[in-house]
Amino acid sequence: EELNRDSLPVARPAPPLEDARRDEEAGSAVEARPLGKERRADDFKLRLKLRKAAIAAEKEKRRAEEAAAAEAAAIAAAEARFAAEDAAAAAAARPVKEKPSDPWANMDLDFDFEGDGKPFRFARGKASRVKGGKEGVRLARAQLRGEEPMKLVEKDGVLRHTGPVTPFGGLGAGGLLVQQEVRTELRDYIAGWVQEALSDGAACWSPEEGLHYASLGGEKLLFDLELLERIRALGVRVSQVCLVDPEYGEDLGAAARQGLREFADWQRAAAQASGHEPAEILVFGSLEDYHETCSEGGRANGCHIFVHCQAAWGESVVLDRRRQMIRGMIAGGLFVRLLNDYSQKQASASLAEPTSAEGWFSMGAWTIAPGKPPSITPIRKTQYAGVLGAIASTPASFVLHAKAQAEARAKAQKEKEKAALQQRLHDRGAQAAWEAEQGPSAAEREEEEQEEEGLSHWHVVFRPHVAVREEP
């Protein structure tokens, strides 16, 4: 027992400090084991998420490549089909399409603004001068016909077409036609009359002859341009346009020249786009010149629509000259007037202060009755009640304001012309004084010397006389 007792290991008590350290390390090991598991789990989840994202990106890339390949294949197939169709169309026999007849295609028929313009100026316009090319003509044509929106801007009492490339920026509408409702109602009434005449088979013009249109007082020509395009949209060929206005007389300003050229150029381009012969444009500086030319056998005889649209603010119509206007009109034609007749209303009755434009302006429409000389038959006002309502809806305050502006502009223009005249007279006086101070010129001295030597100067004037026989 003593030996056995001595051979067995005897557990000796450890010092207290070592026991405390061992207990702390054991506790740390126990705490470290669960933290390592959580970290490994988080790492696994992160790797799994990244792997899924990579797989999704790979699938998306593969789908995009497949879609691009399918689109390229579809485009290639479409191009091949179009090429085959083009080749088949080129190989097939095509009918010969005749171009619209234009006897003046290679002729320069622009306005000649030299001279006094008696009795009229003539042009057929140049389609190549219209701004914007074929695409610009197509868009402006659709705007004038109401197929596309048309933007108009009023400036200084004049309504003008606006746009990046407008083919007729020099044209405008003034006076009461600035009011959109008045302008559109009047335009639609006249175009509706043409459409009704075509539907009833009662048109007073023939397709071969075309329609003859005349306008007095249109001045800025935008209303005439829009109305003619609405008529042309009905399939009617416009063969002649007569424009009558004092502004088109001998002293033709730069603005009037630009407007006339743009108007004539547009008529040529619009006729070509419609497959029609271009209309001839006759411009008169007075109603007397037009009256002379529209007599029987005259160049302007045979008018189908005459529009007297003197819708100015400042001046009022005093004389009624309808007989001069309708002299060359065809039986069954239309005569329309929108004019400022305030002075006539004042003379015929004691007119109170107007409350709307109806007190200043009047609108009327007549048809031409058969017989010589031509007479007119009034059209019932119910047929153009829309125009009358638009005039009555324009307040008097607007009319008074616009009238004051027009009178102020006219006064400023007169003052400007007066100052220019005084300057010219002053320059002439100064030139005469300088010539008197310098004495006779060299040419005058030479003439005096030749006269002293017995030589004389002759001025030969050739005035040919051409006899015109009525028959061969």
98 inside domain:
no
CA distance 466 to 469: 10
306 and 353 part of one domain: yes
In the beta sheet, which residues pair with residue 1?
none
453 and 436 part of one domain: yes
Residue of 302, 305, 306, 304 lying closest to 287 (CA atoms): 306
pLDDT digits (tens, 9 = 90+) for 117-166: 889 999 888 888 888 888 889 999 999 999 999 899 988 888 999 877 78
Q: What is the strand order of the sheet 152-155 is part of?
A: 152-155, 158-161, 173-174
Q: What is the pLDDT of residue 306?
A: 96
CA distance 8 to 413: 140
Domain coverage including residue 214:
121-394
358 and 297 part of one domain: yes
Q: What is the pLDDT of residue 234?
A: 95
Q: Which residues contact 166 (CB under 8 A, 6 or more apart)?
A: 131, 132, 140
404 inside domain:
yes
List helix spans (H) across 357-395.
385-392
- Please count the structural domains in the chain: 2
94 inside domain:
no
Residue that has been written with the tokens 């030319």 in this structure: 293
385 and 432 part of one domain: no
Q: What is the pLDDT of residue 441?
A: 64
pTM to 2 decimal places: 0.66
305 and 427 part of one domain: no
204 inside domain:
yes
295 inside domain:
yes
427 and 412 part of one domain: yes
179 and 271 part of one domain: yes
Q: What is the pLDDT of residue 116?
A: 77
Which of 342, 373, 394 is where one domain is finished?
Answer: 394
Q: What is the pLDDT of residue 156?
A: 80
B/e letters for 203-238, b = 16+ CB within 10 Å, e = fewer, are: bbbeeeebbbbbbbbbbbbbbbbbbbbbbbbeebbb
CA distance 144 to 142: 6
In the beta sheet, which residues pair with residue 306?
214, 335
In the chain, which stretches have pLDDT less than 50? 1-4, 8, 10, 32, 97
CA distance 224 to 243: 9
348 and 408 part of one domain: no
- The amino acid at 445: R
306 and 350 part of one domain: yes
3-state secondary structure of 313: coil
